[in-house]
Amino acid sequence: MSQERYLIQGDFISTPTPQEVAIHENAYMSVEGGMIQSIDKKKPDIGSDVQLIDHGGQLVIPGFSDIHLHAPQYVTRGLGYDKELLPWLNDYTFPEESRFKDHAYTDLVFNDVVEDLWAAGTLHSVIFSSLHTDASITLMEKYAKAGLSAYVGKVNMDRNSVEELSETTEASMRETERFLEAAKDYADRDVLPILTPRFSPSCTNELMRWLGDKVLELDLPIQSHVNENLGEVAWVKELFPESKHYLATYDDYDLLPQSRAIMAHSIHNTASEMEMFKDKDVLIAHCPDSNSNLASGIMPAGEMLDKGIRVGLGSDIGGGNRLFIGYAIESAMKASRLLWALSEHEHRVITFAEAFHMATAGGGSFFGKTGLFMPGYFFDALVIDDRRFTKYRPLSVFERLQKFVFCGDDRNIVTRYRKGQVLPKPEWN
């Protein structure tokens, strides 16, 4: 079907920029080879061989991108939220992740993760596996089977873990090579590897240098965490006295490749770090649910956008508890409103359009031409049946989108398209 041309009728809405909402109500979108060709108010003159797909009266929105989550933590999400980051990692996260050396267990959990991402309309993800190479390959295989696009990372951590979850520096390098080799099998299905130093405290200088050399040699993207929690920031200062700040611990080892790095959280930033985000075109993974759950703080999202820094959203499973990225949109807005109130208006609130942009075009920018509706972009979309929200009073298309995000969930998503093809529910046999 992806090479075919077809016409879709529906109410289309997307945000080409954080400030811009593009609405095409009761319009016709022409799709060919999985790509959007045109969006017209009037039905174009088409040949009788071109199929018309009728989503009339339904909302059609870009597919979601979740640019920060941890697959193994699907099991422990929701647990231990009366702790802060560092004790939470040691008490819940690390012991659970050690279980992913077991293939049957990995299979059981990762089937659910990928199936639930499909259900939630998350067509693109940037995800941490565990440090186990086989588990990481299994995760890639699940994404490929489901037809979802992802960057998957085998975690690197050769220090400061618990006994049952650790690797030597040498094993971390060797296993990363093995992972990168195996990952080649999935590239044609848009499932790609991403280097994943867990965070600076987890990696020795030697391992950081080696990973940076891989970035330079193979032009690989990277994902990691920065400035999540004040205790963590102080710890990084002790571990890397030669670096000028936390973000520089990555840059000093060539781990901030231009436009190819994702940094999760980014809450407690210095002015110099804000400059570095901008200079290196780092994509920020804003994870408001996780940041509340672990009492980490509130990321100044408005300031990031005003500086022209790219921002996407992460569910951060299991620091975050909910996979549907609509919840992250809601939480990003709530967090920004609290920050505005508590800072006596020193920080600005973000708009709904800005938060929705983060969940679609913002995060999608890491994947290329996706996340908005314009000619030349892939038709990656969700069809929403929102009749239950419009039966009491008429709503504009923009209001319907807000209703879906704030009052709906994945049960309202009736069809998912990636690269122009309908994605059926994944089957695992």
Nearer to Zn ion, 138 or 296 (CB): 296
Within 13-32, the residues that bind Zn ion by CB under 5 A are none
Minimum distance from residue 16 beta carbon to Zn ion (Å): 29
Q: How far apart are CA 228 and CA 44, in angstroms?
A: 51
Nearer to Zn ion, 69 or 256 (CB): 69
Minimum distance from residue 290 beta carbon to Zn ion (Å): 7
State whether residue 142 is helix, strand or coil. Answer: helix
Minimum distance from residue 132 beta carbon to Zn ion (Å): 17
Minimum distance from residue 92 beta carbon to Zn ion (Å): 13
Q: How far apart are CA 141 and CA 123, in angstroms?
A: 15
Asked if 360 and 307 touch (Cβ cutoff 8 Å), the reply is no
Nearer to Zn ion, 88 or 373 (CB): 88
Minimum distance from residue 22 beta carbon to Zn ion (Å): 32
Please tell me the count of residues contacting Zn ion according to CB under 5 A: 1
133's tokens: 């190479």
Q: How far apart are CA 136 and CA 155, in angstroms?
A: 9
Nearer to Zn ion, 96 or 316 (CB): 316
Q: How far apart are CA 76 and CA 73, in angstroms?
A: 5
Minimum distance from residue 353 beta carbon to Zn ion (Å): 26
309's tokens: 């820094």
Nearer to Zn ion, 144 or 194 (CB): 194
Nearer to Zn ion, 316 or 410 (CB): 316
Number of other CB atoms surrounding residue 346 within 10 Å: 10
Q: What is the DSSP letter of 89?
A: I
Tell me how far apart the 2 most distant CA atoms of the chain are, in Å: 70
Q: How far apart are CA 416 and CA 289, in angstroms?
A: 25
Half-sphere exposure of 8 (CA within 13 A, CB side): 31
Minimum distance from residue 213 beta carbon to Zn ion (Å): 24
State whether residue 15 is helix, strand or coil. Answer: strand
State whether residue 378 is helix, strand or coil. Answer: strand
Q: How far apart are CA 284 and CA 18, in angstroms?
A: 14
Asked if 253 and 212 touch (Cβ cutoff 8 Å), the reply is yes
Nearer to Zn ion, 60 or 317 (CB): 317
359's tokens: 């969940």
Nearer to Zn ion, 167 or 316 (CB): 316
Within 335-364, the residues that bind Zn ion by CB under 5 A are none
Nearer to Zn ion, 158 or 316 (CB): 316
Nearer to Zn ion, 316 or 380 (CB): 316
With residue 111 as reference, give the H or E element that holds it. helix 103-119
Asked if 263 and 285 touch (Cβ cutoff 8 Å), the reply is yes
Minimum distance from residue 3 beta carbon to Zn ion (Å): 38
Within 290-329, the residues that bind Zn ion by CB under 5 A are 316
**Per-residue exposure over 400-411, b if at least 16 CB sit within 10 Å of its own CB, e if not:** bbbbbbeebebe
Asked if 221 and 260 touch (Cβ cutoff 8 Å), the reply is yes
Q: Do the strands 64-70 and 20-32 form a parallel or antiparallel pair, or are they unpaired?
A: unpaired
Handedness of CA 321, 246, 351, 385 (dihedral sign): negative
Minimum distance from residue 287 beta carbon to Zn ion (Å): 7
Where are any strands of DSSP class E within 267-403? 283-286, 310-313, 381-384
Minimum distance from residue 232 beta carbon to Zn ion (Å): 12
Q: How far apart are CA 360 and CA 369, in angstroms?
A: 11
Nearer to Zn ion, 66 or 316 (CB): 316
Minimum distance from residue 357 beta carbon to Zn ion (Å): 22
Give the binding site for Zn ion (CB under 5 A): 316
